[in-house]
Amino acid sequence: MSIQPRYQHVATESLHKPNGWDLVALLIIAGIIAALVWGASHMDTPYHVGKPIIISLDPSALPGYALRTVLRMFIAIGLSLLFTFIAAPLAAKNAQAEKLIIPFIDIAEAIPPLGVLAIVIVAFIQWFPDSLLGPECAAIFVIFTAQAWNMALSFYQSLRTLPLEFQEAATVFQLSGWQRFWRIEVPYAMPALLWNTMMSMSAGWFFLVASEAISVANQHILLPGIGSYIYQAIVNANLHAILYAIAAMLVVILLYDQLLFRPLLVWADKFKLHSSDDDAQENVSWFYDLLLKTRSLRIFRRLFDAFKEWAINQPSVYVMQLKRLSLHAKQSTRPLKCAWLQKPLHYFSSVKPILSQSCVWAWNIGLILCIVSALYALVRFIHLYISFAEIRHVFFLGSITAGKIALLIVLTSLFWIPIGVWIGLNPRLRGIFQPLVQFLAAFPINLIYPLVVTGILYYQLNVDVWSTPLMILGTQWYLVFNIIAGAAAIPPETLLAAKNFGVKGFLWWRRLVLPAIFPYYITGAMTTAGGCWNASIVADVLKWGDQTLIATGLGSYITQYTESGDFPRTALGLSVMCIYVLVINRLVWHQLYQLAASRFSME
């Protein structure tokens, strides 16, 4: 049973009749814009490297810090969406681009925030000398690296697993590539992309301390924000300040959930393949309801719909005209009306296959030469300062970290798959648990370090064992979100058919649920594993006041030499981490991606 359009009666109201909801919505939106403008005005202030920035632990400073943190995160999420809509379609539709983009994302996921800062902080400071905008851009870039890869992989997975009937519909209606992208592929991918955007927004909180409390090569830069507030509280061992930070985070997360993500979830309901009356009760938003009652939104929506139709259809008109001219020039012996186009179109038609093949070969050869040259230069640089014995030891540390991550992925999957499927199949539970999971995902794991350090020291526990769960506590939510999204995407009629035929128990899981959530699970597990490599940088070195605990692993190696400014050893650690992630992704995750695309897509 399909759900009725939300607030259908609103559309029948007179567009010329003003109401009080316009004023309420205007005040809320104007307040948000004014707050963001205030935060942006403080980003470009004079600053000299080495000048200390005082971070106050007074609770009254938290609102301003929270606003500046949210501004950085929203700028980063905007850049992440831009990257997603450019990189993911290229990778999904072009085999040559896929060979470059997907390995790039694999490597980028492996580079931890400390490594990113070590590379970009100097460049941004030089681009914006004597200004705080340099460190601000570096912090935004770090948050971007914590958000973009998951979103791009989600969109890529959706495009690769587009149902066959959708592809046939695009062919029947003779949609151009541009029209197919905006009318079929983007709407199909929108629910999963929205969930992963929410997850990526939450992931930015996890790396908040590393992005705002910059500590590279014995230089310490504290940008005003919640992350630097948490860092200062940890350094001062101020438990009350930690509690204030948790309260401020809770308020901020609730605000942007209610004013942004909750309305988007309600709006995205129309993109679901299968809807029911229960789905209408899953996502409720008072702000979305308020906007629907305003006159200005309905006028704006009509203007936007007109612009959208023009933007989707008009480029296709020009492309079709060019194709007809090219086809006419190739097949007809009669001269074209535009005689000056005839020879170029004839020439283009004849050389197009040769040009395409030559570009492919040139691209492959150039890519191989660039990779070999970069690897040779890196190995030569590292070997000048580091012995082969130490390099072998770093690879051994990488194997320890890889073993920890593999064990964590298995245990986390066994725990969350049943729970995620249970939540995903129940719309009411999704409405309850989605904000809770979102807050838990946004919760910086650094805030429980005091408890972990105190417990390890008090009970004299093994730091290598008890610090390991910290690697996945902040990244497991990638897996949880994708499992829930995969279970929610199972068609109700399929579940009903399985129930009518008496399919239950292990057969129900093996034949129905696990194949249905498999593409989503691979996206979540791959991103979780990449997040674990990044999180090892934080989890292997635990600090609370004067106490520091160091676990054995590649993360602690990178952290110690990054903070001391030893660039050759930092480069070695990052290179080894990239090699491990790239090899594992190629041999494991992408093979599972191909399996998901070929056997478990929704056909």
The pLDDT, as a whole number, for residue 67 is 87
- Written as six digits, the tokens of 535 are 């999180």
Give the Cα separation of 196 and 478 in Å (integer). 8
pLDDT (average), residues 202-211: 74
- DSSP states along 287-324: HHHHHHT-HHHHHHHHHHHHHHHHHHHHHHHHHHHHHH
| Degrees to nearest 5, angle at CA 90 with 87 and 92 | 105
Give the Cα separation of 141 and 432 in Å (integer). 33
Task: Give percent above pLDDT 90 in the chain.
Answer: 7
Q: What is the model's pTM?
A: 0.72
Give the Cα separation of 412 and 238 in Å (integer). 32
CA neighbor of 25 nearest in space, from 229, 298, 413, 250 = 298
Task: Give percent above pLDDT 70 in the chain.
Answer: 78
Within 13 A of 91's CA, how many CA atoms are on the CB side? 25
- Written as six digits, the tokens of 488 are 């929610």
pLDDT at 553 over 70: yes
Min mean pLDDT across 184-188, 319-323, 422-426 is at 319-323
Residues 443-455: tens digit of each pLDDT: 666 677 777 877 8
pLDDT at 143 over 50: yes
Give whole-number Cα distances, 519 to 192, 483, 594, in Å: 11, 9, 10
pLDDT (average), residues 378-387: 76
